[in-house]
Amino acid sequence: MTETSNSGVADQSKRRWAIVSLASIPLIMTLGNSMLIPILPLMEKELGISAMQSSYIITVYSIVAIILIPVAGFLSDRFGRKKVIIPALILTGAGGLISGIASWKMDDPFIIILLGRILQGIGASGAAPIVLPLVGDMFQRDEDASSTMGIIETSNTAGKVLSPILGSALATVIWYLPFLSIPVFSLVSVLLVAFLIQTKDNDAGNNEDEPFTLKAYLKLIKSVFKEHSRWLYAVFAIGAILMFILFGFLFYLSSILEDTFGYEGIWKGLMLAVPLLALAIASYISGKQIKDNLVVMKWVTFIGIVLAGSSVIAIPFKAHPVYLLTIFFLCGTGIGMALPALDALITKSLDKDVRGIVTSIYSAMRFIGVAAGPPTIAFLMTKDIAWIAGLLAIFALGAGWLAYRNIDP
């Protein structure tokens, strides 16, 4: 009895550390990108660039990830999740190091910073997007997988909460220190994944009795999309729209808090962290509550989209920091509700053999939203504020319609 009990405790401890290790990946990937957003106005001053040029620092990272995420998903299905994640984390750290050293040593480092960000994007394509299929591989019970998805999304959003504070705090020491912190964070995650996540040799889901061929794999992918196209395309589009709204609104709020209301540094970081904390809490609660119920997943997604969309409509009504932060609080809560449900819909409904590539396409679509949000909002900020509110509201309306009509458990 004692040996059985001790074995159970040991298994629970290993499971907790495995979840911590998994959660470190989206946390660090988010920090490596989102903590740059609140210091973009500072970068504009230090580098002598425009707001549109500063948005490229976010966008190039996302564009590269968009292109390579499906490739990473294919490789993870073929060779295993860890064999893709660890090299990807190393590349992420190298990209941050290049951007940081260029900022430190060069008189005109903007192009090299972008090259470092491209390398970071290559790394990002094989790190965070592979976490979702890995969770599906590791946890056999749907309830455990859904709960862990909630923790993963909470970690992702916790990174967004910490990002403005940490980015602003590091930049007060020296403006390019956030770049140099990325390799440190990446190294921590590499060590956690390497030593605390145990996977089988066939964790990618391939049947070793059947030889792997690209033709057979593509045929399998085609059959999956043929069978599930209606709701899969809806989930992909909703993921992109929610990230567009989140990062677009965050870019707008970061800019206006500094340029219009004069909030800078850690104070601005703390102000941005409050509504992002709502997103993190909503993600955690949503992941716990949806369990393995597909109907609940659909309606949590729909209600979250409605909350996010109805809040952004109110952006133009009053130009006050507390008012805008309150709107972002409600918007973040809605997005936080929807994201774990979208994750769980994919991992619960698909076989392990194709989970990597399909979740990677989903992650790529989310990155499209991340990439498109800041430059689009930067352009619309030169016009009337109603353009921003109108565009975000229309996108939210489209996402809500897709959730209601196409996600059919």
Predicted TM-score (pTM) of this structure = 0.76
Q: Which residue has the tokens 């770049």?
A: 179
Give the relative orientation of helices 51-79 and 82-105 as an angle to the nearest 10 degrees: 160
Neighbours of 322 (CB within 10 A): 9
d(CA 17, CA 24): 10
Residuewise pLDDT in 10s, the chain (409 residues): 455 555 555 567 777 888 888 888 888 888 888 888 888 889 999 999 988 898 889 889 888 988 888 888 888 878 888 899 999 999 999 999 999 999 999 999 999 999 999 999 999 888 877 887 888 777 767 677 777 877 887 787 778 778 888 888 899 999 999 999 999 999 999 999 888 887 664 455 544 445 556 677 677 778 878 888 889 999 999 999 999 999 899 889 888 988 888 888 788 888 888 888 888 889 888 888 887 788 899 999 999 999 999 999 999 998 899 999 999 999 999 999 999 899 888 877 777 667 777 887 888 888 889 888 888 998 998 888 899 999 999 999 999 999 999 988 6
Domain positions in the chain: 21-196+223-406
- Count of helices and strands (H, E) across the chain: 14, 0
How many angstroms separate the CA atoms of 355 and 228, rounded?
Answer: 13
Residue 384 confidence (pLDDT): 87
Domain 21-196+223-406 has CATH 2.40.50.1040: no
- Cα separation, 147 vs 144, whole angstroms: 5
What confidence score (pLDDT) does residue 202 get? Answer: 47
pLDDT at 201: 47
Give the residue carrying structure tokens 């709701």: 231
Amino acid symbol at 373: G
Predicted pLDDT at 2: 54
Name residue, tokens 């899969």: 232
d(CA 101, CA 70): 30
